Structure 1
Amino acid sequence: MPINDDDSIDFARLADEIEHLIAAGVDGIYSNGTAGEFHNQTEEEFDAIQQLLADRCRPAAMPFIIGACQADPRISLERVRRAARLEPEAIQVILPDWWPVTAEEATDFLGMAAEAAGSIPLVLYHPPHAKRVFAPVELAAILAPVPQVVGVKLADGDLSWYKQARQHLGAWGIYVPGHHLATGVKLDVAVGAFSNVACLSPFGAQRWTASMGRDIERALEVEQRLCAFLEDHITPLAKVHGYSNAALDKLLAAIGGWADVGTRLRRPYRWLDPQIVPGLRETARTALPEIML
């Protein structure tokens, strides 16, 4: 979500960003994830963003998913209802987050969201910073009573986690972190990613994804270098300096330079100084030529 110096949304730059994503031939576009700052916009702004997305994607036959995420369940359900009118491929929601829900409450909320969505399928966004993170076996029990939920975006784990995911979550499309996608494909768990790698380059991320069907071992080698770049140069900005995931994702987009997104977040959240971008861009180009082409 490109932000102007006065904290307003730059809808012209947002439209241009969507056009670049369409031109990259990505599998689909989704709105209002972490880097979309869904937690820091008005309902009028939410509606304008989704309308813009729909208006740009439909003529291009580009599939799109609307994130109706909101920590407040009542606001989230209203967002779901309004998003459904735009007929996206799916609607993404998070579990209510001001007070952590029990498993029973999570199922109840998803049932309410399914009713609000009508015929539109749901994807659950279950990030690692949720106040309660459910294990695969718990998630399966939560999702089973709500057949309208067709997928889950979540953090993965070690080999034990992948074994549990295969055992319990096979009925749903599992979307792992973008920089772990090759591992998820190799272990026959992931169907895709709502990809942070596309922040660096939607063109490169799409090519890398396609390569997994031809040479998974080569894709895994790229993944190793990708994870090393993130661990060495991006993750410390959060662990040491306290920047948010939204700040890191916007930094990646600035490093990629494929659209004029900018690093600025809406206040009060801090963003990265754009002066660090050129050096990181050169580092990324050296480490990840397959992504940064």
Structure 2
Amino acid sequence: MAADKQPHIVAGNWAGLLLPIEADDSIEFAKLAAEIDILIDAGVDGIYSNGTAGEFHNQTEEEFDRIQSLLAERCKASNMSFVIGACQSDPTIMLNRVRRSAELAPTAIQVILPDWWPLTDMEAIDFLNRAADLANGIPLILYNPPHAKRVLAPAELGVVCKAAPQVVGCKLADGDEEWYVQARRHLQGLALFVPGHHLATGIRKGVAAGSFSNVACLSPRGAQRWTRSMRSDIDAALDLERRICKFMDEYIVPFRQSLGYSNAALDKLLCAIGQWGPVGTRLRFPYRWIDEGEVQRLRGLARDTIGELF
């Protein structure tokens, strides 16, 4: 990778903003402000907006600007690192979001690859370099989740990011042992953010810089304690990871695999189980959310299985 990569500008346990949605489909900004304050008080390594769970795909541009301004104002007042997600499937809208986000001076700006038609490598490089120009020196994080139209393998990701040196990190799904071998071979110098419930494995294998974390959806404070424990007792952290994965696989993932709920619905369910902020499980129309009636049952199971997070 290029020598000017800066893999630790963003690292550790990052908590994502979840939009409090009212019955009339409006965003409740007073609750969003309270959520930001709770995350700051939890001492997470940083806060990021407009990931999938932040429903970036279902906002007006006026709402986008208001969310980012609120996040920037509160984080700057508390010296909290923050990443703005400028993601949008339309490249023109996304580039305009990048330009406006840069004016708020975040730690980094997260983008996706334009998503209606998959990009070639050269198109991806062109897009990322255009985004870098508009970011005005702010580093970029590429968000390349499993549901992207094109999921880049480590070798492909290495080629694209080497040709777009302002991309300093990537949020992505990890894989099997061979995936980690390929990541070490092709992605040196790039800060990789693996799924939150796999963070201890990513740290042990010397690949992960951190996570934009679904575990922080469940418990921001608990996820932060767990992340810190990886420096001093990786075996205990891996034991907790096994139990987190067991809880997710048995009680959370079936809502997506069997019932068709979105990842955003799952993350809001985790927040309701953790009972730490004024978010609720409701998603914005037309997306369906998981009934609050499931929460109490799952809350007890979570505390029985992974109680130290709470």
Taking structure 2 as the reference length, the TM-score comes to 0.94
Measured in 2, the distance between the counterparts of 1:24 and 1:132 equals: 35
Distance in structure 2 (CA, Å) of the matches to 1:134 and 1:50? 28
- Correspondent of 1:28 among 46, 53, 56: 46
**1:124 maps to which of 112, 117, 142:** 142
Q: Which amino acid aligns with 2:42?
A: A
> Paired residue for 1:250, among 268, 273, 297?
268
* Match of residue 283, structure 2, among 265, 278, 281: 265
User: How much does 1:263 deviate?
Assistant: 0.2
Aligned to 2:246: 228
Q: Which amino acid aligns with 2:84?
A: I
- In the alignment, does 2:181 pair up with 1:170? no
User: What stretches of structure 2 of length at least 5 have no aligned partner?
Assistant: 1-18
> What is the CA–CA distance in structure 2 between the aligned matches of 1:17 and 1:59, rounded to whole Å?
15
Following superposition, which runs of at least 4 residues in structure 1 exceed 2 angstroms of deviation? none
1:213 aligned counterpart, secondary structure: helix
1:20 is displaced (CA, Å) by 0.5
Report the counterpart of residue 86 of structure 1 in structure 2: 104
Equivalent residue, structure 2, for 1:111: 129
Aligned length: 292
Shift of 1:290: 1.5
Deviation, 1:100, is 0.6
Give the 3-state SS of the residue equivalent to 1:269 in structure 2.
Answer: coil
Q: Shift of residue 254 of structure 1?
A: 0.5
Looking at structure 2, the residues matched to 170 and 181 of structure 1 have their Cα atoms a distance apart, in angstroms, of 18
Q: CA deviation at 1:159?
A: 0.5
Matched, 1:50 2:68: yes
Deviation at 1:146, TM superposition (A): 1.1
Output the CA distance in 1 between the equivalents of 2:151 and 2:71: 30
- 1:246 is paired with a residue whose SS is helix
What CA distance in whole angstroms lies between the structure 1 residues aligned with 2:150 and 2:54?
Answer: 22
Measure the CA separation in 2 of the matches of 1:70 and 1:40. Answer: 9
Question: What residue in structure 1 maps to residue 219 of structure 2?
Answer: 201
Structure 1 counterpart of 2:294: 276
Identity of aligned residues (%): 64
Aligned mates of 2:123, 2:197 — CA distance in 1: 31
**Which ranges of structure 1 fall in alignment gaps of 5 or more residues?**
none
Distance 1:20 1:180 in 2: 24
Deviation of residue 193 (structure 1)? Answer: 0.1
Give the AA of the match of 1:13: K
Residue 102 of structure 1 corresponds to 120
